[in-house]
Chain A
Amino acid sequence: MSLDRLKNCFERCAAENRAALVGYLTAGDPNPAASEKLLDVLASHVDIVEIGMPFSDPMADGPTIQAASERALAAGTRMRDVFHIALSVRKAHPAAGIVLMGYANVAFAMGYEYFAEQAALAGVDGVLIVDIPPEEAGDFTRALKAHKLCGIRLVAPTSSTARRKLAAEIADGFIYYVSLNGITGAEMGEISEIRTQVDALRQQAKLPICVGFGIKTPEQAHAVAAFSDGVVIGSHFVNCITAHEDNEPAMLSELDKTCAAMRAAMRKGGVGED
Chain B
Amino acid sequence: MYDFEIRHPPDAGGHFNGFGGKYAAETLMGPLAELEAAFYASWEDPEFQAERLRLLQQYAGRPTPLYHARRLSEEIGGAQIVLKREDLAHTGAHKINNTIGQALLAKRMGKKRVIAETGAGQHGVASATVAAMFDMQCDVYMGREDMRRQAPNVFRMELLGARVIPVDSGTATLKDALNEALRDWVASCENTFYIIGTVAGPHPYPLMVRQYHVVIGQEARAQSLEQFGRLPDMAIACVGGGSNAMGLLHPLRDDDIRLVAVEPAGYGLDGDDHAASLAAGRPGILHGNLTYLLEDDEGQIKGTHSISAGLDYPGVGPELAAMYEAGRLELETADDNEALQAFSRLSLCEGILPALESSHALAAAMRLAAKMKPEQMLLVNLSGRGDKDLDTVMQKTKEDAT
Min CB distance, A106 to chain B, in Å? Answer: 5
In the assembled complex, the Cα of A104 lies from the Cα of B22 at a distance in Å of 12
- Chain A residue numbers with a CB within 8 Å of B152 are none
- Chain B residue numbers with a CB within 8 Å of A106 are 298-300
Q: Render B42-77 as a binary contact track against A, CB cut-off 8 A, 1 for contact.
A: 000000000000000000000000000000000000
- Chain A residue numbers with a CB within 8 Å of B189 are 158, 181
| A105 engages B30 (CB within 8 Å) | no
Choose one: B22, B29, B287, B295; the contact of A158 (CB below 8 Å): B29
Which B residues contact A (CB, under 8 angstroms)?
Answer: 13, 21-31, 33, 169-170, 175-176, 179, 182-183, 186-190, 284-288, 290, 293, 295, 297-301
In the assembled complex, the Cα of A62 lies from the Cα of B184 at a distance in Å of 10
In the complex, 9 of the A-B residue pairs with CB atoms within 8 angstroms, ordered by the A residue number, are: A56-B170, A57-B287, A59-B287, A109-B298, A135-B29, A136-B23, A156-B29, A181-B187, A182-B27
Given A105-B301, A135-B13, A181-B190, check contact A57 B26 (CB 8 Å).
no
Nearest to B293 among chain A residues (CB) is A105
Min CB distance, A37 to chain B, in Å? Answer: 23
In the assembled complex, the Cα of A110 lies from the Cα of B175 at a distance in Å of 22
Min CB distance, B112 to chain A, in Å? Answer: 17
Interface presence of A130 (CB below 8 A)? yes
Q: Render A122-147 as a binary contact track against B, CB cut-off 8 A, 1 for contact.
A: 00000000111101100000000000
Which A residues contact B (CB, under 8 angstroms)?
Answer: 55-60, 62-63, 66, 70, 73, 78-79, 103-110, 130-133, 135-136, 153-160, 163, 167, 178, 180-183, 186
In the assembled complex, the Cα of A186 lies from the Cα of B295 at a distance in Å of 29
Choose one: B26, B188, B301; the contact of A155 (CB below 8 Å): B26
- Chain B residue numbers with a CB within 8 Å of A73 are 300
Choose one: A59, A135, A136, A153; the contact of B179 (CB below 8 Å): A59
- Chain A residue numbers with a CB within 8 Å of B284 are 105, 108-109
In the assembled complex, the Cα of A163 lies from the Cα of B33 at a distance in Å of 11
Further pairs besides A133-B25, A133-B26: 20, Cβ < 8 Å: A60-B27, A60-B186, A70-B170, A73-B300, A104-B23, A104-B285, A105-B299, A108-B284, A133-B22, A133-B24, A136-B23, A154-B25, A156-B26, A156-B27, A157-B27, A158-B30, A181-B27, A181-B186, A181-B190, A182-B186
Which 9 pairs across A and B sit closest by C-beta, in order of nearness? Answer: A109-B299, A158-B30, A182-B187, A156-B27, A154-B26, A105-B299, A104-B285, A56-B300, A56-B301
- Chain B residue numbers with a CB within 8 Å of A56 are 170, 300-301
Q: Is the interface of B mostly helix, strand, loop or mixed?
A: mixed
In the assembled complex, the Cα of A62 lies from the Cα of B298 at a distance in Å of 23
Min CB distance, B180 to chain A, in Å? Answer: 9
- Chain B residue numbers with a CB within 8 Å of A158 are 26-31, 189
- Chain A residue numbers with a CB within 8 Å of B301 are 56-57, 105
| A105 engages B286 (CB within 8 Å) | yes
| A186 engages B187 (CB within 8 Å) | yes
- Chain B residue numbers with a CB within 8 Å of A135 are 13, 21-22, 29
In the assembled complex, the Cα of A186 lies from the Cα of B183 at a distance in Å of 11
Given A56-B301, A106-B299, A109-B295, check contact A131 B25 (CB 8 Å).
yes
In the assembled complex, the Cα of A155 lies from the Cα of B30 at a distance in Å of 11
| B286 engages A57 (CB within 8 Å) | yes
Nearest to B168 among chain A residues (CB) is A63
In the assembled complex, the Cα of A103 lies from the Cα of B290 at a distance in Å of 13
| B22 engages A62 (CB within 8 Å) | no
- Chain B residue numbers with a CB within 8 Å of A155 are 26
In the assembled complex, the Cα of A271 lies from the Cα of B284 at a distance in Å of 48
| A159 engages B26 (CB within 8 Å) | yes
Min CB distance, B111 to chain A, in Å? Answer: 15
Given A108-B284, A181-B186, A183-B183, check contact A133 B23 (CB 8 Å).
yes
